Amino acid sequence: MTTSATRFEVSPPARIAPISMILLAGLLPMGALLFSARPHVGAAASPYVLPGMAAFIVLLVAVLLLLMRRRLVQLDRGVLQVGAAMYTRRVAVSELDLPRARVVNLDERTDLRPGFKTNGYATFGYSAGHYRMRNNLGSGFCLLTQRQRVLWLPLRSGKQHILISLERPQALLDAMQSLHP
């Protein structure tokens, strides 16, 4: 079976992204756990609690780091699919407002940056999932690993947006525009 899916390379996250995940989700809770495990007068704790909680924290950090590696952008038969961590968004290219779509630098276009996280996964240098957009722009689905080469795709509804960090964002935009001239 032949597929017409075309994949587009997502920009890798900065080195700070996995490091900050390890610090925030691993070392910070581990430090709090060790601090709270100090011997208390008259308190007897199970010898399995501390190792069990430490193992859970290590497992959690490993899962979060693996999820950070899931980054997929593909165009298949007129449908754009964006996979980011545990989230996936599929949208028909015909639903996108391609004349307004742009490659933007979010350091300059701060109005297009995602705002409040509604159901997402984020750390320094990495954002994935669903967000409220700033300036009452509605909601956005994001896969952001850097801010300089971001493809902003507004939907025709006017209140939904997709933001994707790509190595070659113009290539995806050109491919979608060729489907719906």
Q: Which domain holds residue 63?
A: 16-68
Question: Does 117 share its domain with 161?
Answer: yes
9 domain-assigned: no
Question: Does 168 share its domain with 98?
Answer: yes
Question: Does 146 share its domain with 133?
Answer: yes
Question: Does 80 share its domain with 156?
Answer: yes
Mean pLDDT of all residues in 7-28: 90
Residue with the bigger pLDDT between 40 and 137: it is: 137
pLDDT at residue 4 in the model: 76
Mean pLDDT of all residues in 124-151: 94
Question: Does 23 share its domain with 94?
Answer: no
Mean pLDDT of all residues in 17-28: 88
pLDDT at residue 1 in the model: 46
What percent of the chain stands above pLDDT 70? 91
Question: Does 55 share its domain with 125?
Answer: no
- What is the DSSP code string of 69-133? T-EEEEEETTEEEEEETTEEEEEEGGGB-TTT-EEE-TTT-GGGSEEEEEEEEEETTEEEEEEEE
Per residue in 88-119, pLDDT tens? 999 999 999 999 999 999 999 999 999 999 99
